[in-house]
C-alpha cells in the first residue's frame, strides 16, 4: 500500500472511531445528536498527532455515508493534482481570486508582478506557468466584469488607534506530541504597527481576549476593532469587553478577506519572512516559538514600511498624545472580565468552565451573575442582590467535609428586649 493510500485509510479509521459508539449503540448520551455535539465541543486528535475541530453535522454525515457505502465511503478521495505545482496554497489562492475579481482584465503575469510588488510572495517564488495553470483551473465567475467588481476603495485611518485589525493565522506544530499553534495578531491601521501578536494553543474567544488585553495594556484603546466572523471574534463576551472600553466592534463582510487587506498582507509577510525561516528549535515549545516571534515583531515595527514610508513604531509614536489608555490595572481587570449567569445549587456551589466554586449560603437557589477572567481561578466573583461582589474560591470537598456546620436557630431570641447588651 502506497503512503498516500495508507494515510487516507488512516483518516477513514479516525472517522470510524468517532462514529463507532453510534453504530454499536454504546454512546452514553441521551441521543446520538447529543453525542455528536459533545464530541464536537473539543478538538479531536488524529492518528498523526494533529488536532482538528469537526462540526457535529460533519460527524453525522460520516455515519450516513458509512451506513450507505461502508468503510470505503469514509476514505478521502485521492488527490487530483498529483504531479502539479502546489506553491499556491488556499490562502494565496484566495488573495489571487480577490485581485482578479477587482481587476478582471489582469493577466497571469500582471497578477504575479502585483503579488511580488505588494509583498505577498518573493520574486521567483511562483513561475508564470504555475499562475497560468491556476487561471485555467479557477476561471472568473460568469457575468463579466460588472458582476465581479466590488465597490472597494483604499482607506487608511486618520490617527493611530482609530482602527485596529485582527486575524488568526495557522502556525506550525509545536512540542511533543506535536500540536497546532495559532498566531493571533492585531495591527494598527494607520501606522501598520503590530500592537500584539502571539502564538496560542487554541484559537478561541478566551485566547483572543488575552491577545487583545495585551494590546490594550501596551498601546491604549482603539476606537474601532475590525475583525472577521470567526468564533474568537463574534461572541457576546468580546462585544461586552469592547463596550466596556468604549470601542466599536465591527465585523468584516462574510467571505470577504480583502476587506481586511492590511492584516491579510501582514499574514502573508509572516509566512514568507518569519515562518519560512523558522529554525526547528523554535518550535520545540510555545515559549520558544513566542520568543522568536517577539524578536521578529520588534524588528518589523522598526523597519520602514513600503506603504507608509515610515517605521510602524515611529508612525504610531507621532499620535501618542491622542492615545486613550485604561485607567489602571484594576480598571483593566474589570474591563476584560467575562459575565455569565448561573443558578446556585443546593450545596452552595456553582460550576464555571468545568470547575466548582463555593457561593454564599444565602444565594442557594438563586440565579446570580458571575464575573471572571477566563483561565484565572482566583478571579471569580459573584454579584449579590445589592450589586456588591464577593470573591469565590474553588470548592475543596475534603476541607468542606471537616468544616463545622452552622445550624440556624428556629426561634431567634431578641436579647435587647430583655435588657441584654
Mean local confidence (pLDDT), 116-123: 68
Residue 115: Cβ within 10 Å count: 21
What CA–CA distance (Å, rounded) separates 10 from 330?
51
Shared domain for 242 and 170, answered yes or no, is yes
Q: Where are the alpha helices (DSSP H) in 270-379?
A: 286-301, 312-317, 329-335
**Grid coordinates in use for 311?**
517605521
Shared domain for 219 and 308, answered yes or no, is yes
Within-domain flag for 84: no
Shared domain for 292 and 254, answered yes or no, is yes
- Residue pointed to by grid coordinates 426561634: 411
Q: Which residues contact 177 (CB under 8 A, 6 or more apart)?
A: 45, 49
DSSP symbols for 194-243: EEEEEEES--SHHHHHHHHHHHHHHH---SEEEE-SSTTTSSHHHHHHHH
What CA–CA distance (Å, rounded) separates 282 from 58?
35
The proportion of the chain whose per-residue pLDDT surpasses 70, expressed as a percent, equals 83
Confidence of residue 417 (pLDDT cuts 50, 70, 90): very low
pLDDT for res 151: 46
CATH number, domain at 395?
A: 2.40.50
Q: Which of 188, 169, 182 is nearest to 264 (CA)?
A: 169
Shared domain for 318 and 342, answered yes or no, is no
Shared domain for 376 and 313, answered yes or no, is no
Q: Domain boundary at 322, 354, 371, which? A: 322
Within-domain flag for 333: no
pLDDT for res 418: 46
The string over 162-188, giving b where at least 16 C-beta atoms fall within 10 Å of a residue's C-beta and e elsewhere, is bbbbbbbbebeebeeeebbbbbbbbbb
Mean local confidence (pLDDT), 391-417: 65
- Range from 82-86, 201-205, 285-289 carrying the lowest mean pLDDT: 82-86
Strand (E) or helix (H) holding 172: strand 163-174
Shared domain for 269 and 382, answered yes or no, is no
Asked if residues 189 and 157 have their Cβ atoms less than 8 Å apart, the reply is: yes
Q: Which residues contact 46 (CB under 8 A, 6 or more apart)?
A: 10, 11, 14, 52
Q: Judge if the upstream peptide bond of residue 246 is cis by omega within 30 degrees of 0.
A: no
Shared domain for 118 and 266, answered yes or no, is no
Within-domain flag for 28: yes
pLDDT for res 66: 82
User: Is residue 104's pLDDT more than 90?
Assistant: no
What CA–CA distance (Å, rounded) separates 394 from 380?
9
Within-domain flag for 217: yes
What CA–CA distance (Å, rounded) separates 158 from 420?
73
More confident residue, 278 or 165: 165
Q: Which residues contact 391 (CB under 8 A, 6 or more apart)?
A: 380, 381
What CA–CA distance (Å, rounded) separates 178 from 235?
29
pLDDT for res 258: 54
Shared domain for 13 and 125, answered yes or no, is no
Instruction: Give per-residue pLDDT as tens, 176-207.
Output: 888 899 999 999 999 999 999 999 999 999 99
Q: What are the CA-CA distances from residue 206 to residues 70, 241, 296, 374, 394 (Å)? A: 40, 12, 25, 6, 20
Mean local confidence (pLDDT), 146-167: 70
Within-domain flag for 329: no
Shared domain for 96 and 229, answered yes or no, is no
Within-domain flag for 416: no
What CA–CA distance (Å, rounded) separates 237 from 257?
24
Shared domain for 197 and 317, answered yes or no, is yes
Within-domain flag for 296: yes
Instruction: Give per-residue pLDDT as tens, 347-395.
Output: 999 999 889 999 999 999 999 999 999 989 999 999 998 989 999 999 9
pLDDT for res 46: 66
What CA–CA distance (Å, rounded) separates 115 from 88?
12
Give this prediction's pTM. 0.61
What CA–CA distance (Å, rounded) separates 229 from 246?
20
pLDDT for res 304: 93
- Torsion sign across C-alpha atoms 82, 84, 88, 90: negative
pLDDT for res 280: 83
126 burial via Cβ count (<10 Å: 0-12, 13-18, 19+): buried
User: Is residue 289's pLDDT more than 90?
Assistant: yes
The proportion of the chain whose per-residue pLDDT surpasses 90, expressed as a percent, equals 37
pLDDT for res 146: 41
Q: How many domains does the chain have?
A: 4
Q: Which residues contact 226 (CB under 8 A, 6 or more apart)?
A: 163, 164, 165, 166, 189, 250, 251, 252, 260
- Range from 327-331, 347-351, 408-412 carrying the lowest mean pLDDT: 408-412
Q: Domain boundary at 124, 148, 172, which? A: 148
Shared domain for 138 and 215, answered yes or no, is no
pLDDT for res 413: 46
In whole angstroms, what separates CA 44 from the centre of its chain?
Answer: 17
Shared domain for 136 and 198, answered yes or no, is no
Q: Domain boundary at 298, 322, 346, which? A: 322
Domain of 95?
Answer: 90-148
What CA–CA distance (Å, rounded) separates 303 from 78?
45
Within-domain flag for 282: yes
Amino acid at each position: 500500500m502506497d503512503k498516500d493510500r495508507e494515510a487516507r485509510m488512516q483518516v477513514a479509521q479516525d472517522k470510524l472511531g468517532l462514529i463507532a459508539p453510534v453504530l454499536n449503540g454504546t454512546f452514553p448520551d441521551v441521543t446520538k445528536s447529543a453525542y455528536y455535539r459533545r464530541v464536537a465541543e473539543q478538538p479531536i486528535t488524529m492518528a498523526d498527532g494533529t488536532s482538528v475541530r469537526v462540526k457535529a453535522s460533519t460527524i453525522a454525515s460520516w455515519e450516513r455515508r458509512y451506513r450507505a457505502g461502508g468503510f470505503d465511503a469514509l476514505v478521502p478521495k485521492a488527490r487530483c493534482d498529483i504531479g502539479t505545482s502546489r506553491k499556491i496554497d488556499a490562502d494565496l489562492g484566495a488573495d489571487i481570486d480577490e485581485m482578479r475579481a477587482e481587476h478582471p482584465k489582469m493577466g497571469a503575469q500582471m497578477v504575479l508582478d502585483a503579488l511580488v510588488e505588494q509583498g505577498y510572495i518573493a520574486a521567483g517564488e511562483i513561475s508564470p506557468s504555475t499562475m497560468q495553470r491556476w487561471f485555467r483551473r479557477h476561471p472568473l465567475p460568469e457575468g463579466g466584469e460588472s458582476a465581479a467588481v466590488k465597490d472597494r476603495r483604499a482607506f487608511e485611518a486618520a490617527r493611530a488607534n482609530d482602527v485596529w485589525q485582527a486575524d488568526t493565522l495557522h502556525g506550525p506544530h509545536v512540542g511533543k506530541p506535536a500540536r497546532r499553534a495559532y498566531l493571533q495578531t492585531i495591527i494598527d491601521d494607520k501606522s501598520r504597527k503590530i500592537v500584539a501578536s502571539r502564538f496560542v494553543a487554541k484559537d478561541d474567544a478566551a485566547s483572543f481576549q488575552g491577545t487583545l488585553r495585551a494590546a490594550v495594556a501596551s498601546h491604549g484603546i482603539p476606537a474601532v476593532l475590525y475583525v472577521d466572523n470567526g468564533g474568537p471574534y463574534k461572541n457576546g463576551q468580546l462585544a461586552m469587553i469592547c463596550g466596556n472600553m468604549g470601542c466599536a466592534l465591527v465585523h468584516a463582510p462574510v467571505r470577504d478577506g480583502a476587506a481586511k487587506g492590511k492584516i491579510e498582507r501582514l499574514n502573508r509577510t509572516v509566512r514568507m519572512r518569519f515562518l519560512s525561516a523558522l529554525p526547528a528549535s523554535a518550535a520545540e515549545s510555545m515559549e520558544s516559538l513566542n520568543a522568536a516571534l517577539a524578536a521578529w515583531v520588534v524588528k518589523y515595527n522598526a523597519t520602514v514600511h513600503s506603504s507608509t514610508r515610515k517605521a510602524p513604531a515611529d508612525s504610531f509614536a507621532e499620535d501618542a498624545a491622542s492615545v486613550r489608555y485604561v485607567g489602571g490595572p484594576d480598571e483593566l481587570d474589570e474591563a476584560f472580565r467575562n459575565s455569565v449567569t448561573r443558578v446556585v445549587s443546593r450545596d452552595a456551589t456553582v460550576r464555571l468552565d468545568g470547575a466548582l466554586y463555593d457561593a454564599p449560603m444565602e444565594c442557594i437557589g438563586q440565579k446570580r451573575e458571575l464575573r471572571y477572567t477566563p483561565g484565572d481561578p482566583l478571579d471569580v466573583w459573584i454579584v449579590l442582590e445589592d450589586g456588591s461582589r464577593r470573591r469565590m474560591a474553588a470548592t475543596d470537598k475534603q476541607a468542606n467535609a471537616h468544616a463545622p456546620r452552622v445550624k440556624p436557630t428556629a426561634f431567634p431570641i431578641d436579647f435587647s428586649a430583655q435588657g441584654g447588651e
